[in-house]
Amino acid sequence: MKLKSAILRRSRFVRLGVFVAVAGLLAFATIGSASVSANAAVPTAQAQAAAATSLPCDLYAAGGTPCEAAHSTIRALYASYSGPLYQVKRASDSAVSDIGLLAAGGYVNDAAQDSFCASTSCTITKIYDQTTNHNDLPISWGGYWKGPGANGADIGANATALPLTIGGQKAYGVKVTQGVGYRVDNAKNVPTGSKPEGVYMVTSANFVDQWCCFDYGSGENSHTDTGNATMNAIEWGTACWFGGCTGSGPWVEADLENGMYSSNTGPNQPSYTGVNFPFVTAMEKNNGTSNFTLKYANATSGGLTTGFSGPLPNGYSPMKTDSSILLGTGGDNSNSGVGEFFEGAVTAGYPSDATENAVQANLAAAGYSFGSGSTGGSGPLHAVGAGKCLDDPNSTTTQGTQQQIYSCNGAANQTWTRTSSGQLSVTVGGTTLCLDANGQGTTNGTKAIVWSCNGQVNQQWNFNANGTITGAQSGLCLDVTGASTANGALVELWACNGGSNQQWTLG
């Protein structure tokens, strides 16, 4: 199908695995959970090495469906992996640096990025493949739909736009905004044609849209639409491409080229209304001839749910999958999709349910979080640089009022409550309002206002290990304008820069 709209773009997506002691691995993943949890508060290299016993690609290999491409900016996906995770490029002098691990099989050495990128900005220029195939993901050269970079290439993600913690250790994910895309063509040993293939990734419901395409998986080497069944990728977002959907998403969908499929007919099943977690496990597998299956879960707890499992759409059997591996765009470089990526892999073969359950158990044990501690809590929100408190001016209950800092006084208009859903609320005169990114803004200078609490993503705030508070939707930091220390200085959103005017403590 072809659409003329420059916004919508065209759509192009969207052996039975050997069971080898995966039940034992699932039990072992549960044991690993206790190990990670016990060491989360002090994530030393030794503790990480001890915890990294069986990681996702070890589990897939044990199930007879090995990873042929594995990518993460957060952690190792093999217990033995000790190489680099990703590469960053510094804006000030165009120097590049590889960011690696604290220990083999462990978490990212985030301090290496912080040190290298201090006083400037950095871009993620490459995400390394952790398999022996070396299917590394550089920034894509573009495609049918041109990217915003030089000569129509895509651009890299801001390296500090998506802070989080994992096992208590600070890390940075890949925040895919429109135009960001990574890709390796003619990837080695990945399934092609009608060979069975599995894909998983960890993403988030905090940052999604309905456009094509925030994908991870297999696409065309030509970066053009080469017809139905030439892709096999996870598509994540709120696209209801064929109409008739139930709920508002977002959904784990299959981009099989020329359609984002939540079922073999297109729209989602009535019971599959959407997946809304800060961290989402997304899985898709395709046996190449008769079945594809979509699964999802809260990546921090619980088990997998099957959103769909059934026949391939009409005209998609057998599959004709090509060997390009992509992240962030559609097969022909459709680049209007947005999303967040933390880890993922492409496997040879059709993973068993037991293998996938074991992988989910490992993810739930990993300790993904957007906070620096437990959620909840109430008290003054201190602006560290100014030595003052976030203040609702004159205890107003007027929606849209921009917030300020003021000398701390313990009054109700300076008492903020952090909820388990990530909101920051203040109650004055019996009225409760929430801190809100004005107009769902995602640009520098967006006002931090109060508004009726509605649970939308522009009212969700991440407390980070480095003392910043970032908008879940924008990734921007809560910022005292102009680094002012004066009473009445206004508060806004601004790109995170390490300044003390972006440091906050609650309580």
Q: What pLDDT score was predicted for residue 420?
A: 67
Nearest to 214 by CA among 72, 335, 73: 335
- Segment 208-217 shows an average pLDDT of 96
Query: For the CA atoms of the chain, what is the radius of gyration?
Result: 22
Q: What pLDDT score was predicted for residue 371?
A: 59
Q: What pLDDT score was predicted for residue 248?
A: 87
The span from the CA of 259 to the CA of 247, in Å, is 19
The span from the CA of 160 to the CA of 217, in Å, is 24
Q: What pLDDT score was predicted for residue 70?
A: 98
Q: What pLDDT score was predicted for residue 376?
A: 57
List active site positions. Answer: 257, 332
Task: Show the 3-state SS of 454-491.
Answer: CCCHHHCEEECCCCCEEECCCCCEEEEHHHCCCCCCEE
Higher-pLDDT residue of 19 and 454 is 454
- pTM of the predicted protein model: 0.69
The span from the CA of 286 to the CA of 424, in Å, is 42
Task: Show the 3-state SS of 113-147.
Answer: HHHHCCCCCEEEEEECCCCCCCCCEEECCCCCCCC
Contact (Cβ atoms closer than 8 angstroms) between residue 212 and residue 337: yes
CA distances from 141 to 17, 144, 148, 283 (A): 34, 10, 11, 27
CA distances from 382 to 3, 306, 395, 506 (A): 50, 44, 17, 6
Question: Would you say residue 351 has pLDDT above 80?
Answer: yes
Query: Strands, E, within 128-255: which ranges?
Result: 137-138, 157-158, 163-166, 169-172, 174-176, 182-184, 197-203, 215-219, 232-237, 251-255
User: Which residues make Cβ contacts (< 8 Å) with residue 308, sequence separation at least 6?
Assistant: 262, 263, 264, 268, 269, 272, 292, 293, 294
The span from the CA of 126 to the CA of 20, in Å, is 34
User: Which residues make Cβ contacts (< 8 Å) with residue 221, sequence separation at least 6?
Assistant: 185, 186, 322, 323, 324
- Segment 287-312 shows an average pLDDT of 96
How would you classify residue 342: left for phi > 0, otherwise alpha for psi between -120 and 50, otherwise beta?
alpha
Structure tokens at 385: 């640089």
CA distances from 255 to 180, 241, 332, 437, 465 (A): 18, 11, 12, 32, 35
| Residues paired with residue 311 on neighbouring β-strands, in sequence order | none
Diameter of the chain measured on Cα atoms:
69
Question: Would you say residue 327 has pLDDT above 70?
Answer: yes
Contact (Cβ atoms closer than 8 angstroms) between residue 205 and residue 276: yes
Contact (Cβ atoms closer than 8 angstroms) between residue 156 and residue 327: no
Q: What pLDDT score was predicted for residue 344?
A: 98
Contact (Cβ atoms closer than 8 angstroms) between residue 493 and residue 445: yes
Q: What pLDDT score was predicted for residue 335?
A: 96
Of these ranges, 22-31, 368-377, 457-466, the one predicted with the greatest mean pLDDT is: 457-466
- Segment 317-324 shows an average pLDDT of 98
The span from the CA of 421 to the CA of 368, in Å, is 15
- Tell me the pLDDT tens digit for each residue of 132-154: 999 999 999 999 999 999 999 99
User: Which residues make Cβ contacts (< 8 Å) with residue 24, sequence separation at least 6?
Assistant: none
Contact (Cβ atoms closer than 8 angstroms) between residue 203 and residue 162: no
Contact (Cβ atoms closer than 8 angstroms) between residue 44 and residue 50: no
The span from the CA of 412 to the CA of 409, in Å, is 9
- Tell me the pLDDT tens digit for each residue of 416-458: 988 766 889 999 999 999 999 999 998 999 999 999 999 888 9
C-alpha count within 13 angstroms, C-beta hemisphere, residue 478: 34
The span from the CA of 414 to the CA of 199, in Å, is 47
Structure tokens at 249: 């998403």
Structure tokens at 47: 């503790």
| Domains in the chain: ranges and CATH | 22-72+126-369 (2.60.120.200), 378-506 (2.80.10.50)
Burial of 336 (0-12, 13-18, 19+ CB in 10 A): buried
The helix (run of H) or strand (run of E) holding residue 69 is strand 67-72
Pick the range with the lowest mean pLDDT from 102-106, 339-343, 391-395, 499-503: 499-503
Q: How would residue 4 be classed by pLDDT, with cut points 50, 70 and 90?
A: very low
